[in-house]
Structure 1
Amino acid sequence: MTEIFWNELSLAVFGANTAPPVIQYTGRLPGPLPVTELLAESVGLAGVALACLRGQSSEDVFVDGRLTAFWGLTSCEPIDWTPQEPWDPLSSIFKGRDGWIRLHTNAPHHKAVATSLLGNTVTQEDAAAEIANRSVVQLETDFIAAGGAAARLITWNDWQAHPQGRVISQSPLVEWSQAKPARAPTKLQEADYSSERPLSGLKVLDLTRVLAGPVATRTLAGYGAQVLRIDPADWDDPGLLHDTTIGKHCAELDLTSSSDRALFVDLLRQADVLVHGYRPGALEGLGFDAASLDQINPAHICISLSAYGRQGPWSERRGFDSLVQFSTGIADLCSDGHGLPGKLPVQALDHAAGYVIAACVFEALRVAKSGRIISAQTSLARIAWMLSRTDQTDGDDDPIPPKVKGDFASSIETSDWGNLKRLRPPLTVRDAPMIWDTPSGELRRHPASWD
């Protein structure tokens, strides 16, 4: 089997061509782009990075491509209960006078922007009627200016010539900081990752939401890391938390509050890893730029994700997987052939980015054993570029067989919403099983403490 993305993934994280893991495919997700391979190779990247951290090789890593595809949709099935619908009615695509636009209104403040700009419409039908007479170019500008989340359709050809597209094309998949020597011997230099729970004792402060970041920290938790997720009082990830909070403690802090900022500083001072998904400038706006974070804890590793990268005219733009698909040419490449924009069969940009982030954490931990601290960042748009420029395929010719009983773990998980069945992990690293110590649950259910 020839890997499609492996060389680029391997060079981005390890700085060299590393042997790929063993990947087994049974069918492909539908659509014209090699999404199944992107997911499986990204999962394999995290596995190989963990293996290297443990002194193992790529031969000790196995990826089940079929399970990886299932995890790209959801990692579990509820038993006798129904999760909340994650998509707001206005989170959809709409046709305007001069093209298509996609809105993202799942968050209350983004929904408020949409209803205000669209004449207080609340139904998808009313929004469609309003947008039909509007310019999507102007509407996108208005949404962004008002703090909303939207993206007009840009074709793949146009994205390659777009100012932000050109920046993305010239950016590395992973941007590593210059390694700096630790100011004193650190816990990470003495860490031993050879046990069955290799990340046991590692403290990970999680400032991520929705999907990509939570996928990364879910992976770290699966190998024993103590993950503490922080959210403000008004945030929710409806319909996703049973999928993404497993293995984590979830606490509430308001980083605009002086008392909560003091608590955050104390948590960061004790953390080994910070993972965040703040767009460029947002965390800095709260007073936590890179220099401030380094002053609080010079020994911590920081891995971050943005929608459109840290350079270029769109660097500070809000974005989610669905919007990035729309603005980077993917929705165009996946169109139905009659002008209707399409989409990937799963939110592959989020999931792939999540495993790339996890791989970066593992590699940074390996480097830290030599007394050097490095950090990294990646973006959904750069993942999209890697996917879009590959040769198109036809996954419809090789469908994935449906799930069977043996695809699930033998035990039942008791979540805050009810019992559920969790799929077996798609990644196997020899002598290091991926398991979670805490069932999934609501946000803000734990104290903001490492105890």
Structure 2
Amino acid sequence: MTAIKFVVREGALQGRLPVQELARTCVGECALAAAELGARRAGLARVPAVQVDDGAVATAFLSERHLLIGGRAPVTFAPLSRFWRTADGWVRTHANYPHHRARLLDALGVPEDPAAVEAALAERSALDVEEAVHAAGGLAVALRSPEEWAAHPQAAEVAKRPLVERERPDTAPARTFAPVGASPLLPAAGLRVLDLTRVLAGPVATRTLALLGADVLRLDAPRLPELPDQHADTGFGKRSATLDLAVDRQHFEELLAAADVVVTGYRPGALDRFGLSPEALAERRPGLVVAQLSAWGAYGPWRERRGFDSLVQAATGIAVLEGSAARPGALPAQALDHGTGFLLAAAVLRALREQSYEGGSWFVRLALARTALWLTDGLDGPDGMAAADGRSGSYDGPGPWLSQTDSALGRLRYALSPVSFEGGPADWGRPPVPWGTDAARWAQQF
């Protein structure tokens, strides 16, 4: 078994929970999966050596904070996205998107004024706010301790599932990949990925597949613009297009007919009305890899709820563990998002490799809430994690793991990918583009 060389640096991603270890392990899994697929496609006698440097990992897990666009730091959280005191505790809201902000304000019956929101929330219980905002289509969760979350029925459903769910629903023929060269070694070269994801784990996964050579086409509904800074951070290596599935269904079917991978990041069931359930996709495109990401999991009473990293931290007890019930805290990075993103990319790469031996369509599923459970339970290693050795050092800042490039968005400073293996790519092949500016087609037409 290939060993992963770890460069362990003290001071990176410090928290009460083992965040640095989570980040290191997720990136290691992804890099190893990439090296194994690369060896398979390039016909190499051995799997290229993998190295995971805590400095690169920490920098990448904070990529949105290191990004500069024309010298300007990006906007991360909106004023109404934070913890608020309630009559009996705390609630965490997420209102970065205009439609989510409007639904939050409608549920509370207040204008867009932080003082008005604060006053309204102070008069209500946290669970009452959670349910009222959810009913209005907004996002708010009550702060829970680990014990309170463990008693919740959604936690019980999450705990039943593996960290990475894998399913092979059919016996489609084994895939024969075109061989790839070894300089640089691009394990996903020539593969086409439909990216139907938003914020943040899904785009991190597809950004990683783009680094590894995949033709990644991100598709969004034209009525739901992405936040520009967020899109810039996760858009490296991809093209960005809009497509209305209710109107341009035939266009989507043409794209699907040539796709190798579909990655979805919407609530479970949200895309089913368009015929985009994993089963429906594989029926129309046998041999497809379908990767699903959700906040709360595909089962249980919260399966259809919207969610983000910060909300999952609040609901699952992480915010209490990183602070207290009296003063909630947060992980040093959006580690659930980034970690799950790298695990999702690893699962896709492994499914592709196994297709070359066993065939079949493959479904893989991950959830932020399941990654949260993995973190709070102490990080039992994922199946197949390689043995590791390493050396120690200190984390003195992100300098060596940042780069710069010109783009249509302006001069960019950005974090490099921490996925590193012998002969692999050092950077993305293209910078991000403004949201929705590309044609909805594959880079190369055959």
TM-score by length of structure 1 reads 0.88
**Alignment equivalent of 1:306, drawn from 283, 294, 303:** 294
1:244 aligns with 2:239: no
Structure 2 match to 1:333: 321
1:403 aligns with 2:386: no
1:83 Cα offset (Å): 4.2
Decide whether the 8 Å contact of 2:228 with 2:434 is kept in 1.
no
- Matched positions, count: 419
Taking the aligned partners of 1:32 and 1:177, their CA distance within structure 2 comes to 35
1:45 Cα offset (Å): 0.2
Taking a change above 3 Å as real, the CA distance of residues 309 and 203 of structure 1, as seen in their structure-2 partners, is same
Structure 1 match to 2:5: 22
1:171 Cα offset (Å): 1.1
1:40-66 Cα deviation digits (max 9, x unpaired): 110110011112223376771001111
1:363-400 Cα deviation digits (max 9, x unpaired): 01111112232221010000000001229xxxxxx973
Structure 1 match to 2:347: 360
1:43 aligns with 2:30: no
Report the AA paired with residue 334 of structure 2.
Q
Taking a change above 3 Å as real, the CA distance of residues 271 and 288 of structure 1, as seen in their structure-2 partners, is same
Report the AA paired with residue 189 of structure 1.
T
1:321 aligns with 2:309: yes
1:225 aligns with 2:252: no
1:213 Cα offset (Å): 0.6
Structure 2 match to 1:15: none
Q: In terms of mean alpha carbon deviation, does 370-379 or 214-223 score higher?
A: 370-379
1:438 aligns with 2:426: no
**Alignment equivalent of 1:342, drawn from 321, 329, 341:** 329
Taking a change above 3 Å as real, the CA distance of residues 341 and 399 of structure 1, as seen in their structure-2 partners, is farther
Structure 2 match to 1:283: 271
Taking the aligned partners of 2:270 and 2:57, their CA distance within structure 1 comes to 32
Report the AA paired with residue 51 of structure 1.
A
1:304-338 Cα deviation digits (max 9, x unpaired): 10111111111111110000001011011111x47
1:191 Cα offset (Å): 3.3
- Within a 5 Å distance, the mapping from 1:50-449 to structure 2 comes to 50-55=34-39, 60-74=49-63, 76-78=66-68, 80-182=70-172, 188-193=175-180, 195=182, 196-233=185-222, 234-257=224-247, 260-335=248-323, 337=324, 339-370=326-357, 371-390=359-378, 400-404=395-399, 406-409=400-403, 412-449=404-441
1:94 Cα offset (Å): 0.7
Taking the aligned partners of 2:267 and 2:179, their CA distance within structure 1 comes to 33
1:253-286 Cα deviation digits (max 9, x unpaired): 12222xx222111111110000111211101133
Taking the aligned partners of 1:140 and 1:20, their CA distance within structure 2 comes to 46
Decide whether the 8 Å contact of 2:67 with 2:413 is kept in 1.
yes
Decide whether the 8 Å contact of 1:54 with 1:194 is kept in 2.
no
Decide whether the 8 Å contact of 1:37 with 1:65 is kept in 2.
no
1:118 Cα offset (Å): 1.8
Alignment RMSD, CA only?
A: 2.0
1:121 Cα offset (Å): 2.4
| Identity percentage of aligned residues | 39
Report the AA paired with residue 9 of structure 2.
T
Decide whether the 8 Å contact of 1:199 with 1:225 is kept in 2.
yes
1:137-166 Cα deviation digits (max 9, x unpaired): 111111111211111111101111211111
1:81 Cα offset (Å): 2.7
Report the AA paired with residue 160 of structure 2.
Q
Report the AA paired with residue 367 of structure 1.
E
Give ranges in structure 2 of 5+ residues lacking alignment.
380-392
Taking a change above 3 Å as real, the CA distance of residues 385 and 372 of structure 1, as seen in their structure-2 partners, is same
Report the AA paired with residue 277 of structure 2.
D
Taking the aligned partners of 1:111 and 1:421, their CA distance within structure 2 comes to 29
Structure 2 match to 1:6: none
Aligned to 1:280, the other structure's residue is in SS state: coil
TM-score by length of structure 2 reads 0.89
Taking the aligned partners of 2:338 and 2:428, their CA distance within structure 1 comes to 19
